[in-house]
A and B are shown apart, each in its own frame.
Chain A
């Protein structure tokens, strides 16, 4: 993303829908990876989606439930991959290239076995 502007990470990015270069939905921003420190300044290095990034957002019983149900792996999407932020976070490349399509592919293989899918 090349334009410079101030973003409220919590309001403008966290929990936002991710879409790839073809407009396909491919997850949500579950966490952001920051580098630096409070004195010299923090920068956003990447957005994180799925896996421990998601499970870590919950506490107590919710976390245990997610650990039981959610077996996805965390995917790191470098900040440079972000094309733009509107009501969704648009990515530069396809979900496949960014390793965000594995679960959809697995589900698609099941569905494709059914006629007229």
Chain B
């Protein structure tokens, strides 16, 4: 019974943790600009992250090594260093976007000055990590993120066009002529589902929790498939709500305030507050995950002690790293940079760094020398290589699309 509860808690936390500021921004705008046309991009990304998360959980369980460990050992020092630099740049950009997003949500909730709320956001997040045991951080932010289900309720209330939604599962333009902008948003939605910090965080957790092949591989599969897969349901809800509410009225929901207007209009003040609180927890949880991913990467590459369950002094360089990256995010946000712009850059540049993360993972997961009987089966290999191909294609097109479409503005 305990095991079932544990699995359920893990899956729920993963669902709530799936949506971050990148998903919010890209899903809202995609629905407002293109209706249901890009649902397939979220589904494609969700399957991709489920495939690779399952692989990285399995690698961590069998080899007792997290992803960055594997990257350096399997691919060598220089490749590992290159991946470290690229990943750290993306992690820091992601953290800036997430912390800025938390400050924007706090501003919509409290109405105070933005820069003061950046200070508050950093303090709330750092103090959460410092004082709360990690299981509680996961539960608070994961379950809090589930409040975003209000977007699904609002979408259902509006009466979605199920036929169009089914059509949206198949990639094809429907009545749009701006193919480049459509492609940009497809890339953004796919990329925000497959952000590398998710696998760094997930695999480190598996190692630290001492997962064993005999007992946790099934949990790993369930969490990866249901957690990330069903988490995509929240992103799709945001697209549907945007498609039904904003698109017919010609509104481009390119801010968090506008995105929250949907639930407010359908469900009143309660809808508004649930949407804002859901955003706070989802984006806040993602900020914590990405700060830890930055600390994990550095610690694992150089062989320092690390661990989210350790007391801060128990893994001092790991602790200092996540504090320093929060400090860096704080300083950059205080210059007045718009976190929503940073979000788009973080998501797009994460795609460019993705091949460096996912290739070593795939090579190890299919290597019987490392994995023995737990190496990828035929389906795992087919999906792994297929997705790697997609990731390469997306990585090559992301920056040109961002430039040509002026960050999706046309």
Contacts and interface: CB of A to CB of B under 8 A. Distances in A.
> Are A and B close enough to touch in the complex, i.e. CB under 8 Å?
yes
Interface in A1-42: 15-18, 24-28, 30
B180 to A, nearest CB: 34
B134 interface: no
B303 A28 contact: yes
A104 B303 contact: no
B65 interface: yes
Contacts of A62: 78, 81-82
Given A27-B303, A58-B78, A114-B312, A107 B319 contact: yes
Interface in B296-318: 299, 302-306, 311-313, 316-317
Contact of B316 (A15, A18, A27, A108): A108
Contacts of B299: 25
Nearest to B85: A65
Interface string B81-95: 110010000000000
B405 interface: no
Contacts of A65: 85
B302 A27 contact: yes
Interface string B46-78: 000000000000000001110001001100111
Contacts of B81: 58, 62, 66
B78 A59 contact: yes
A85 B312 CA distance: 28
Nearest to A56: B77
A87 B65 contact: yes
Contacts of A111: 312-313, 316, 319-320
B385 interface: no
Contacts, number: 69
A103 interface: yes
A57 B77 contact: yes
A57 B311 CA distance: 33
A66 B82 CA distance: 12
Secondary structure dominating the interface of A: mixed
A25 to B, nearest CB: 4
Contact of A107 (B76, B80, B317): B317
Contacts of B65: 17, 87
A96 to B, nearest CB: 13
B317 A15 contact: no
Given A26-B305, A116-B131, A17 B320 contact: no
A56 to B, nearest CB: 10
Nearest to A18: B303
B179 interface: no
Interface in A62-117: 62, 65-66, 87, 103-104, 107-108, 110-112, 114, 116-117
Given A110-B316, A110-B320, A117-B311, A104 B304 contact: yes
A58 B77 contact: yes
A49 interface: yes
A17 B69 contact: yes
Contact of A116 (B73, B80, B82, B130): B130
A102 to B, nearest CB: 11
A87 to B, nearest CB: 5
Contacts of B311: 117
A77 B81 CA distance: 23
Nearest to B131: A116
A30 B311 CA distance: 28
Contacts of B64: 87
Contacts of A18: 303
Contacts of B80: 15
A15 B303 CA distance: 9
Contacts of A15: 72-73, 76-77, 80
Contacts of B319: 107, 111, 117
Interface of B: 63-65, 69, 72-73, 76-78, 80-82, 85, 130-131, 299, 302-306, 311-313, 316-317, 319-320
22 contacts: A15-B76, A24-B305, A25-B304, A26-B303, A27-B303, A27-B304, A28-B302, A30-B77, A49-B303, A57-B78, A58-B77, A59-B78, A62-B81, A62-B82, A65-B85, A66-B81, A104-B305, A107-B317, A111-B312, A114-B130, A117-B312, A117-B319
A-B pairs, 8 with minimum CB distance? A28-B303, A107-B316, A57-B77, A108-B316, A27-B303, A117-B312, A25-B305, A117-B313
Given A15-B77, A18-B303, A107-B320, 5 more contacts: A15-B72, A16-B73, A28-B72, A58-B78, A66-B81
Interface of A: 15-18, 24-28, 30, 49, 57-59, 62, 65-66, 87, 103-104, 107-108, 110-112, 114, 116-117
